[in-house]
């Protein structure tokens, strides 16, 4: 598999956030409210002395004290804070600013869109949604560029996968601590998604539940990079190390998932990282390039038929399909793979990714030699198109989106 160091993948955190914030709708962008890409946010706010900044995350996220530790990603200074759950009754606290620019942000810009629409409907005339949110801010390593804006209570340092090559090259003596369970580290997990993440060749594997008995194996005099699947266990371990006197603790932001599901080019990372799978993982941009390069590409949607046909009783799962896709649910692929041509490339996808990896493995096991799995899934194509600068055109690949979810 070609490693694609880190872009915005739909991380598990994003998916969980999505579940808690209703339908992801983008049809109001630059219609009911304005939008700004995170790369332009700091410059734009600096130039506007009347700007009001509003953070609609939970109190725990805002204070870097959330029990969902992967959501403790710092904050923009001097922001007003109203939890999205409280905004319906507290938006009037902002009414004095209704004609000033109000920049609304959250972690992934799902909740901020809801808040932006709510404010616009309440008479605010200049609402701007911050696309991508603070997750994109951290992944793009904008802390230095916007150092007069950003602050965090975290004692460990979050390392963006986008700068990982330079970070590892600069820190030659880095101790890479992989805190996943043994089967995931070895690539023999029963969960195929865990096998996709590969491992750092020079890493040491100490599962998170064994750290307290293993301090003698972890040096204190060198920088430490803690890695896991999505960042949560790595953060818990980082805190544990700091409490026990370690001072140079770093965490791979959003874990190996963000590293593997990037579209920024392989760079130097292959000097340190390896995988054990028989298929390739591609992101939306990589998929687009593949589809244009391979006109015979077979695109297989492995969701259940109700979702493929926008008939799921869970309405937010009705998000259309990729143009040209056929539906073979993952549970039926073992018996229906013969309907596909082994001599042509095939790409499989699911709503959020993990089932696509299992489907890709199934096809590889049956002798398909050009197998691709879309990471992190169908949802990410539209999310990236709406939130990441330069990827707006990706929206054209998704068709049949119901009006309620556009």
DSSP bridge partners of 282: 374
Residues in the chain: 406
- HSE-up of 239 (CA within 13 Å, CB side)? 12
Range list of β-strands (E), 203-307:
204-205, 224-227, 249-252, 273-274, 280-282, 298-301
Give per-residue pLDDT as tens, 28-87. 999 999 999 999 999 999 999 899 999 999 999 999 999 999 999 999 999 999 999 999
Q: Per the structure block, which two tokens stand in for 50?
A: 């009347």
Q: Would you give the distance in Å from CA 338 to the centre of its chain?
A: 34
Predicted local distance difference test score (pLDDT) of residue 6:
38
C-beta of residue 119 within 8 angstroms of C-beta of residue 127: yes
SS3 125: coil
Residues of the chain with pLDDT under 50: 1-22, 24, 265-266
| CATH topology match: 32-151 vs 280-405 | yes
Predicted local distance difference test score (pLDDT) of residue 318:
94
Q: What is the CATH number of domain 157-274?
A: 3.40.250.10
What whole-number distance in Å separates Cα of residue 385 and Cα of residue 24? 12
Predicted local distance difference test score (pLDDT) of residue 15:
40
Q: Per the structure block, which two tokens stand in for 87?
A: 């905004």
What whole-number distance in Å separates Cα of residue 102 and Cα of residue 51? 6
- HSE-up of 291 (CA within 13 Å, CB side)? 21
Predicted local distance difference test score (pLDDT) of residue 23:
52
Predicted local distance difference test score (pLDDT) of residue 147:
83
pTM of the predicted protein model: 0.89
The neighbour count for residue 360, using CB atoms within 10 Å, is: 29
Domain range 32-151, its CATH number among 3.40.250.10, 3.40.50.10170, 3.40.50.150, 1.10.150.130: 3.40.250.10
Predicted local distance difference test score (pLDDT) of residue 263:
63
Give domain limits for the chain.
Answer: 32-151, 157-274, 280-405
What whole-number distance in Å separates Cα of residue 193 and Cα of residue 204? 21
Predicted local distance difference test score (pLDDT) of residue 267:
59
Give per-residue pLDDT as tens, 298-346. 999 999 999 999 999 999 899 999 999 999 999 999 999 999 999 999 9
The neighbour count for residue 365, using CB atoms within 10 Å, is: 13
Domain 280-405 has CATH 3.40.250.10: yes
What whole-number distance in Å separates Cα of residue 246 and Cα of residue 217? 13
Predicted local distance difference test score (pLDDT) of residue 9:
38
Q: Per the structure block, which two tokens stand in for 63?
A: 């204070």
The neighbour count for residue 124, using CB atoms within 10 Å, is: 22
Predicted local distance difference test score (pLDDT) of residue 354:
79
């Amino acid at each position: 598999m070609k490693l694609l160091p880190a872009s915005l993948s739909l991380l598990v955190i994003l998916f969980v956030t999505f579940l808690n914030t209703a339908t992801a709708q983008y049809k109001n962008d630059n219609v009911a409210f304005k939008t700004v890409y995170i790369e332009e946010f700091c410059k734009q706010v600096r130039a506007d002395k009347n700007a009001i900044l509003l953070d609609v995350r939970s109190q725990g996220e805002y204070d870097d004290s959330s029990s969902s530790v992967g959501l403790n990603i710092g904050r923009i200074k001097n922001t007003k804070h109203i939890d999205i759950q409280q905004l319906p009754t507290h938006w009037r606290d902002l009414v004095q600013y209704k004609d000033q620019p109000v920049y609304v942000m959250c972690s992934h810009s799902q909740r901020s869109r809801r808040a932006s629409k709510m404010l616009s409907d309440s008479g605010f005339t200049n609402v701007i949604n911050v696309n991508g949110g603070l997750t994109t801010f951290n992944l793009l390593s904008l802390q230095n560029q916007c150092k007069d804006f950003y602050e965090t209570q975290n004692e460990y340092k979050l390392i963006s996968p986008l700068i990982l090559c330079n970070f590892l090259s600069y820190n030659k003596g880095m101790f890479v601590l992989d805190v996943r369970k043994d089967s995931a580290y070895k690539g023999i997990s029963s969960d195929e998604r865990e096998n996709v993440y590969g491992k750092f060749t020079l890493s040491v594997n100490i599962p998170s539940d064994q750290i307290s008995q293993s301090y003698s194996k972890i040096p204190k005099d060198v920088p430490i990079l803690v890695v896991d699947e999505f960042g949560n266990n790595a953060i818990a371990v980082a805190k544990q190390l700091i409490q026990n006197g370690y001072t140079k603790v770093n965490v791979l932001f959003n874990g190996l998932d963000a590293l593997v599901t990037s579209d920024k080019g392989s760079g130097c990372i292959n000097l340190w990282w390896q995988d054990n799978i028989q298929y390739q993982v591609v992101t939306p941009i990589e998929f687009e390039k593949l589809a244009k390069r391979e006109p015979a590409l077979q695109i297989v949607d492995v969701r259940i038929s109700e979702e493929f046909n926008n008939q799921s009783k869970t309405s937010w799962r009705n998000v259309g399909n990729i143009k040209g896709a056929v539906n073979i649910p993952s549970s039926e692929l073992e018996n229906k793979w013969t309907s596909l041509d082994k001599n042509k490339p095939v790409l499989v996808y699911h709503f959020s990714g993990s089932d696509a990896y299992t489907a890709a493995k199934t096809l590889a096991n049956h002798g398909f030699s050009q197998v691709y799995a879309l990471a992190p899934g169908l949802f990410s194509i539209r999310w990236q198109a709406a939130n990441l600068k330069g990827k707006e055109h990706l929206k054209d690949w998704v068709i049949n989106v119901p009006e309620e979810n556009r």
